[in-house]
Amino acid sequence: MNAIISATELASDMAGPNPPVLLDVRWQLSVAKAAGEPPFDGRAAYEAGHVPGAVFVDLDRELASAPGGRGRHPLPDLAEFGTAMRRAGVSSAAPVVVYDGGQGWAAARAWWLLRWTGHPDVRVLDGGLPAWEGPLETAAPVPREGDFQPAPGAVVMLDADGAAALARSGVLLDARAGERYRGDVEPIDPVGGHIPGAVSAPTNENVGADGSFLAADDLRARFKTLGVSGDSAEVGVYCGSGVSGAHEVLALAVAGIPAALYVGSWSEWSSDPSRPVAVGPDPQ
C-alpha cells in the first residue's frame, strides 16, 4: 500500500463506499517565542477551514508527551494517544488519511505513530491542505467513536543507543537542515552538531517546490547517493525532535525502503553531555 495519497485520489475515496477517517494535524515548529511572537495556532487554522469531515489532532498534546529528558516531542502516553484517536473516529478496520498545512512533517508524525501502534491502513495527503482543490468547511464534526487500540512495536523504533550503533553498522540519516547538522547554528537545542557517523539528509530535499514528494524513482536515486538502497544495511532517521524525521521515514517508504525512527532525536541526544557530538560536514 502506498504511504501517500493524492488529492484526486482522496476526493474519490471520500465519495466511495468506505471513506477514510480524516485527521487534520496542522502544526509548525516555532522558534519565534524568544522574540515574543505568538506560536502558530493549528486549531485556529483548522477552525478557519478544513477538509470536510476532518477532525483536528493536536501534535504537542496528543502526538507527544511533555518535553523533558527524552526530547522535545517524546512518545505520547499510549492510553491518551488511543483515547485521542478513538475520539477522532479511528478504527482498525477503517482507512485513515492525515494531512497538515503543506510541510508534511506533522502529518508524517501522525502517520508514523499510527503505523508504530499497529494501524494497517494510514496514508498522508501528498502536498497537504494546499493540494486539496475541493470545498472546505468550518464546522467541527463529531465522529462516531472509533475502536482503535494502540499496539506498539509494529515498526522498528530506535533509542539513543540504537541510533549510535546503527550509525556504525548501517546508515543513520540526519533529517535536519545542513547548518544544524554541521553545528553552524543551533536555534533550539543545547548544542549543535550531529551523532557521530550520521549522514546529512535534509528532509526538505525529498519534496518539490509545492511540498509534494518527488517521484519514487527520484527518491531512490537521492537516497542511493546517501548510501541507502533497497538491499543495503539497516536504515535509521533522526531529526530535532522526531517530527521532521518521521517525514524522512515517510519519504523512504515512498521509495520502498523501510527505516527506523529515533524519536528522541537530537533534542534527547544533546541533552546528555556524556554523549559524543560531531561537527562539520563529515559524518565522523
Distance of CA 194 to the CA centre of its chain: 19
Grid cell in block for residue 22: 480524516
Grid cell in block for residue 121: 491502513
In angstroms and rounded to an integer, the radius of gyration of the C-alpha atoms of the chain is 18
The answer to whether 239 is a known catalytic residue is yes
- Alpha helix segments (H runs only) across 99-202: 105-116, 160-169, 178-182
Residue type, 16: G
Q: Which of 229, 162, 147 is nearest to 198 (CA)?
A: 162
Q: Which of 54, 166, 239, 261 is catalytic?
A: 239
* CA separation for the pair 43, 28 (Å, rounded): 12
Q: Which residues lie closer than 8 Å to 238 by C-beta, 6 or more apart?
A: 158, 163, 172, 173, 174, 175, 195, 198, 245, 261, 262, 264, 265, 266, 269
Q: Tell me which residue has cell 533509542.
A: 159
* CA separation for the pair 26, 35 (Å, rounded): 22
Q: Judge whether 126 and 219 are in contact, CB under 8 Å.
A: no
Report the catalytic residues: 239
